[in-house]
Amino acid sequence: MNARPGHLLAAAALTLTAACSPVLSAQTREDYAAVDRTQTVRLAVAVAPLPAGQQDVGDLWSMMTRKYVNQHRDFIVVADRADAAIPTDVCGERIDGVLLLAGRAERQGDEVGAAVNARLVRCRDRQDIWSAQAAGTWPTTDDDLVEARKYWVGQTAEVVDPFVVASFRLLTATLETLPSPKITDEAHIREKIDLGE
């Protein structure tokens, strides 16, 4: 059988894309569809410890995660915070689960190395629903993310600027591996629309 050049290029591109992903592993509970898909939809985000040891970078991660999940996944993220340690009250009223991000970010010249261990934890029994690990190194600048850098600096502080590209690349790839919930409650549907993110 002769392979056509177009198929070889497509296969090479697919292999290269897979090889470039920062996600090292991701897993979801086997019983997710039966237990959590419609029950664990309202989330809080908690980032601890602080990436780069800086509150502003922790705030960047928590806000970026909240906004990305609200825009690209069917969860409803109603709160986000960053602290040196996971707050004991993170499962607040009407929160079904918590997206916990434990990560690091280190600037080395014109690059930032970053890694995250992410978990989605069910509040009612503190069981893990999903987890993922990712890591990589990215330049501090990226022509595709000029506007994103301006936006996130404006939302946080100038000190986060060199961390925006690495944070965006790391977190978005990781969050794309989250399971897909199904919002069935009419009030939740309205709340998701009203978030406006």
Q: List 100's β-bridge partners, or say none.
A: 46, 119
* Residue 180 maps to a domain: yes
Can you give the pLDDT at residue 3?
45
Average pLDDT value over all residues in the chain: 90
pLDDT at 89: 87
> The whole model's pTM is what?
0.87
Distance CA 136, CA 151 (A): 23
173 within a domain of the structure (yes/no): yes
In a domain, 5, yes or no: no
Does residue 76 sit within a domain?
Answer: yes
Is residue 56 a part of any domain in this protein?
Answer: yes
Q: What's residue 185's pLDDT?
A: 85
Q: How many domains does the chain have?
A: 1
Instruction: Answer yes or no: is 4 within a domain.
Output: no
Cis peptide before 22 (omega within 30 of 0): no
Q: State the 10-residue block means of pLDDT for the chain, 197 residues long.
A: 41 43 97 96 96 96 97 94 90 93 97 98 96 98 97 97 98 98 88 80
Domain of 142 in residue numbering reads as 24-195
**Pairing outcome for strands 42-47 and 97-108:** parallel
Is residue 9 domain-resident?
A: no
User: What backbone torsions phi and psi does residue 20 show, to the nearest 5 degrees?
Assistant: -90, -10
How many residues appear in the chain?
197
CATH number for the domain spanning 147: value is 3.40.50
87 in Cβ contact with 119 (< 8 Å) = no
* 13 domain-assigned: no
Task: Determine the pLDDT at residue 184.
Answer: 87
CA distance 97 to 126: 8
